[in-house]
């Protein structure tokens, strides 16, 4: 995480991204002028933030948590609720649709690139994180059995810091084979997707262009990620710093070391990711669904999908 020696080699500053600062910025009229990029790094909310490991004090705190448990402002609430869903560039709770319907076609395009098979999705009332509905995906086991909802408008308007938050409920454990449940098209990588999904039974990222994984799927790398518990809602938050070429990920509010690419290649973690050292995504859409490359089928649900230019939190 030291900038000085690495910058020229990597062409990417290894600053710690400000993933842990208050989520109370930007979207609330009562917010102070404090900007998310300059928020005092010592005020990281949550549980484990500490300055001890932060060697880039000019930026945000050690992003050990993106949750917005506390806020430094007084007018805002002290939780992520400061970011009202309605104020976010993208926020979808699936509550305004009928069971069995697709989500709003003005917001979401339902589709399957290249080919279409058995995969299907619809708003459903059999599970919900918020309210009474979520989006159910019945994902097939073949590549062409994939199905996604896609939004292009929100992510392109965010700027360099892409903060995402969604709730995921898997019916079954992730298998050994590679699967994807979230993809973002990267116009700076030949239009190929940055994918989030599973392999080796854990959450991981995959870069479509070269099949790199984050973490590296070695025993050490696998141990640095985690496996969502089937049948439970899991809050996933991510920050993609497009300028720095960095990824930070939190699951249920806790930083996941194996799902972090911090521009300083680390064996078993993000070294493979930076085999493409100039990786700096330009994300132009976000898609939620299911795509399977080794046969695994899955019934999965998504709820409370959100994108913003600041941390969103799990609330
Ligand atoms: Ca809901």
CA 96 / ligand 1 centre spacing (Å): 9
pLDDT of 85 reads 82
Contact by Cβ (8 Å): 119, 138: yes
CA 286 / ligand 1 centre spacing (Å): 19
pLDDT of 68 reads 39
* pLDDT digit string, tens, across residues 269-282: 999 999 998 999 99
Residue 26 inside a domain? The answer is no
Contact by Cβ (8 Å): 67, 274: no
3-state secondary structure of 85: helix
Contact by Cβ (8 Å): 209, 187: no
CA 302 / ligand 1 centre spacing (Å): 8
CA 211 / ligand 1 centre spacing (Å): 33
CA 306 / ligand 1 centre spacing (Å): 12
Q: How far apart are CA 155 and CA 283, in angstroms?
A: 7
CA 305 / ligand 1 centre spacing (Å): 9
* pLDDT digit string, tens, across residues 21-30: 333 333 333 3
**Residues 61-84, mean pLDDT to the nearest whole number:** 42
Q: What percent of the chain has pLDDT over 90?
A: 71
pLDDT of 164 reads 98
CA 80 / ligand 1 centre spacing (Å): 17
Work out how many domains the chain is built from and give that number: 1
pLDDT of 270 reads 98
pLDDT of 38 reads 37
Q: Kindly report the CATH number assigned to the domain that includes residue 278.
A: 2.60.120.200
Q: How far apart are CA 286 and CA 156, in angstroms?
A: 10
CA 127 / ligand 1 centre spacing (Å): 8
Signed CA dihedral, 92, 97, 100, 103: sign only: negative
pLDDT tops 90 at residue 56 = no
Kindly provide the residue ranges of all beta strands, DSSP E only, lying in the chain, ordered along the sequence.
Answer: 90-92, 109-111, 120-124, 134-139, 147-151, 161-170, 179-186, 192-199, 202-207, 212-214, 233-241, 246-251, 254-255, 286-292, 298-308
Give the CA-trace dihedral at 62, 183, 306, 73, to 10 degrees: 20
CA 160 / ligand 1 centre spacing (Å): 28
Contact by Cβ (8 Å): 283, 100: no
Residue 313 inside a domain? The answer is no
Query: DSSP assignment of 147-192, as one string?
Result: EEEEE-TTGGGS-SEEEEEEEEEESS---SS-EEEEEEEETTTTTE
Residue 66 inside a domain? The answer is no
CA 272 / ligand 1 centre spacing (Å): 37
CA 97 / ligand 1 centre spacing (Å): 10
CA 137 / ligand 1 centre spacing (Å): 14
The pLDDT-based confidence of 83 (bands split at 50, 70, 90) is low
Enter the pTM of the model: 0.76
Residues across the chain = 315
Contact by Cβ (8 Å): 177, 199: yes
Residue 76 inside a domain? The answer is no
Q: How far apart are CA 1 and CA 243, in angstroms?
A: 16
The pLDDT-based confidence of 92 (bands split at 50, 70, 90) is very high
Per the prediction, the chain carries an average pLDDT of 81
* pLDDT digit string, tens, across residues 93-146: 999 999 999 999 999 999 998 999 999 999 999 999 999 999 999 999 999 999
CA 135 / ligand 1 centre spacing (Å): 8
Residue 261 inside a domain? The answer is yes
Residue 236 inside a domain? The answer is yes
pLDDT of 86 reads 84
Range of the domain at 117: 85-308
DSSP letter for 80, please.
G
3-state secondary structure of 234: strand
Query: DSSP assignment of 278-314, as one string?
Result: T----B--EEEEEEESSS--EEEEEEEEEEESS----
The pLDDT-based confidence of 309 (bands split at 50, 70, 90) is very high
The pLDDT-based confidence of 84 (bands split at 50, 70, 90) is confident
| Interacting residues of 178 by C-beta distance below 8 A, sequence separation 6+ | 197, 198, 199, 206, 292, 293, 294
CA 87 / ligand 1 centre spacing (Å): 17
CA 105 / ligand 1 centre spacing (Å): 17
Residue 61 inside a domain? The answer is no
CA 69 / ligand 1 centre spacing (Å): 21
CA 34 / ligand 1 centre spacing (Å): 31
pLDDT of 315 reads 85
Most distant CA atoms of the chain, gap in Å = 56
Phi, psi of 220 (to 5 degrees): -70, -40
Top-confidence residue, 282 or 77: 282
Q: How far is CA 182 from CA 79, 103, 133, in A?
A: 26, 17, 19
* pLDDT digit string, tens, across residues 246-272: 999 999 999 999 999 999 999 999 999
Q: How far apart are CA 130 and CA 195, in angstroms?
A: 25
Phi, psi of 182 (to 5 degrees): -145, 130
CA 134 / ligand 1 centre spacing (Å): 5
CA 151 / ligand 1 centre spacing (Å): 18
CA 23 / ligand 1 centre spacing (Å): 21
CA 312 / ligand 1 centre spacing (Å): 16
The pLDDT-based confidence of 65 (bands split at 50, 70, 90) is very low
* pLDDT digit string, tens, across residues 201-230: 999 999 999 999 999 999 999 999 999 999
CA 210 / ligand 1 centre spacing (Å): 35
CA 78 / ligand 1 centre spacing (Å): 23
């Amino acid at each position: 995480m030291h900038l000085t020696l690495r910058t020229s080699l990597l062409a990417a500053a290894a600053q710690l991204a400000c993933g842990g600062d208050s989520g109370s910025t930007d979207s609330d009229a009562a917010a102070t002028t404090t900007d998310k990029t300059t928020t005092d790094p010592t005020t990281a909310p949550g549980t484990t933030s500490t300055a001890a490991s932060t060697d880039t004090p000019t930026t945000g705190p050690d992003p050990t948590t993106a949750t917005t448990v506390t806020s430094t402002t007084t007018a805002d609430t002290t939780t992520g609720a400061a970011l009202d869903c309605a104020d976010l560039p993208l926020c979808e709770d699936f509550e305004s649709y009928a069971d069995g319907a697709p989500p709003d076609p003005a917001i979401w395009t339902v589709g399957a690139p290249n080919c279409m098979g058995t995969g299907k999705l619809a708003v459903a009332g059999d599970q919900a994180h918020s309210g009474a509905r979520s989006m159910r995906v019945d994902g097939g086991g073949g590549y062409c059995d994939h199905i996604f909802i896609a939004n292009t408008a929100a992510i392109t308007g965010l700027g360099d810091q892409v903060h995402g938050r969604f709730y995921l409920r898997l019916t079954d454990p992730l298998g050994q084979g590679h699967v994807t449940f979230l993809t973002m098209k990267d116009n700076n990588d030949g239009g190929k997707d940055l994918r989030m999904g599973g392999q080796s039974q854990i959450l991981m990222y995959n870069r479509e262009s070269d099949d790199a994984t984050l973490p590296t799927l070695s025993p050490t790398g696998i141990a640095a990620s985690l496996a969502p518990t089937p049948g439970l809602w899991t809050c996933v938050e991510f920050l993609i710093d497009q300028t720095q070429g960095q990824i930070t990920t939190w699951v249920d509010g806790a930083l996941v070391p194996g799902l972090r690419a911090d521009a300083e290649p680390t064996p078993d973690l993000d070294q493979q990711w930076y085999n493409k050292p100039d990786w700096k995504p330009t994300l132009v859409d976000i898609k939620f669904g299911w795509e399977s490359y080794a046969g695994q089928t899955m019934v999965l649900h998504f709820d409370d999908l959100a994108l913003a230019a600041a941390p969103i939190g799990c609330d």
